[in-house]
A and B are shown apart, each in its own frame.
Chain A
Amino acid sequence: EAQVTQNPRYLITVTGKKLTVTCSQNMNHEYMSWYRQDPGLGLRQIYYSMNVEVTDKGDVPEGYKVSRKEKRNFPLILESPSPNQTSLYFCASKTGMNTEAFFGQGTRLTVV
């Protein structure tokens, strides 16, 4: 089954404790992206990657890092999480020029 898999689905952590949210897709998509969703603000792009070893900032990259060492994986790293990073996070993938993006099930992160 074609899918985008995020882990974990739920995470509660403390300020400053490094964490990684994993994202994996099995569709051989070149493009992957991370979004955060906050009430009233919609989906805002954090980082995206057009292919292996190619990443770029989205609209809200501060406080986040990403890497793309393999085509299928695109982890989101929070080196020192803060409470304002409490949010619902989505990973998405698509073929490079295509419009339809496939989203993971989301990771609900709470930073206390």
Chain B
Amino acid sequence: GQSLEQPSEVTAVEGAIVQINCTYQTSGFYGLSWYQQHDGGAPTFLSYNALDGLEETGRFSSFLSRSDSYGYLLLQELQMKDSASYFCAVRGNQAGTALIFGKGTTLSVSS
């Protein structure tokens, strides 16, 4: 079967750094993505890792280790507006038709 595991909730304070982990088990793997969703709104794309290593985009970074079937999203200098749900998603086939999402991590940032 296919599954992605990520923590259900994470809490942090403004200015802190938080890491959201994602482990996956899929029949095919062609990359790991991260999406952000505020209050049931449209999920928005944050980052994508096809190869091992760290990808940095401003305050957000994403890491992938294919040998460990593991990735994480790192959020630095947390702001209140970062309070949201974060989903990891695996591209399950080469055609890109299978985009399999984890159950999401709710991040709460307090002042």
Contacts and interface: CB of A to CB of B under 8 A. Distances in A.
Main secondary structure of the interface of A (DSSP, over half): strand
A82 interface: no
A56 B95 CA distance: 13
Contacts of A104: 42
Contact of A99 (B8, B44, B48, B87): B48
Q: How large is the interface on B (under 10, 10 to 19, 20 to 34, 35 or more residues)?
A: 20 to 34
B58 interface: no
A94 interface: yes
B102 interface: yes
Interface in A70-112: 88, 90, 92, 94, 96-106, 108
B96 A94 contact: yes
B43 interface: yes
A42 B97 contact: no
B31 A99 contact: yes
A24 interface: no
B99 A105 contact: no
